[in-house]
Amino acid sequence: MKKWNINLNTIFIATIAIMAFLLLKQCSKIENLKVENQVSVQNIIALNDSIRTVKNNWNEEITLKNSYISDIDELEEINSGLADEVKRLEGEVLYVSNLLSSIENDTIYIENEVIRYPDGTNELSWSFAKEFGEGNSRFLDGNSKFRIDTLNGGFDIIDKGTLITRDVTNMRLITGLTELDDTYQIYVKTDYPGITFSEIDGAILNKERFMKQTQPNWVFGPSVYFGVGVDPLNATAGPQIGLGISVTFNLNKYLNNIFK
């Protein structure tokens, strides 16, 4: 009968390695649960949030609203309109937003150029151009025509219509996603006067990538470590167990969340 030589140190070290792996896996699950909870809280805030306008450090108006964090299936339930927009886009959509704005212009005064044609038609030609700076501008050109009928001793104005020959609005919009007050918010900024935003909706769609990016690079806290210790005085080595506080680089973040 063959006898097996069992090395207790080898068994101990193997056991320690298995325990370490299970501990890392458990820690990763706890971290993922924390992020999942953060995502849920973010979506609740976004569902109940309203559009806000604030001033930044340069006294510029910025419009804000919290964003959703979801995959496409969850977005169908949260905001079907955004989900429909994603389906119309190509490639891997990482972020989508939908803005609805309106512009209320002030009353403007335009001087007319009067043109008289041989057939008796009169034309009022007008042109408006306004620069608001930083790529914002408006151009409006057109003319109105009419005739004056004096037959039979009367004085009748016959309208010949108005023609808008140019109506151009250039507007610079700056929009993006910012982490503010521990939440992820959509921001919109423009210097175009008279513009207001009645709807702002957005969603971060790649939740797994978001979860990976939000994990810390370094993990600080209590730790249990296992390994092999060396006694140079007695020229011996053996297993070692220790407790303490450590700072550890989070490899799991860069290895596609190997410990899930």
Task: Tell me the residue type at 16.
Answer: I
pLDDT in tens, 125-152: 999 999 998 899 999 999 999 998 877 7
Q: In the block, which residue shows the tokens 């003319």?
A: 143
Confidence of residue 21 (pLDDT cuts 50, 70, 90): low
Nearest CA-CA partner of 195 in 88, 122, 103: 103
Query: What pLDDT sits at residue 259?
Result: 45
Does pLDDT of 87 surpass 50? yes
Q: How many helices (H) and strands (E) does the chain have?
A: 4, 13
pLDDT in tens, 192-249: 999 999 999 999 987 766 665 555 555 555 555 555 565 566 656 566 655 555 555 5
Rounded-to-integer distance, Cα 13 and Cα 185, Å = 49
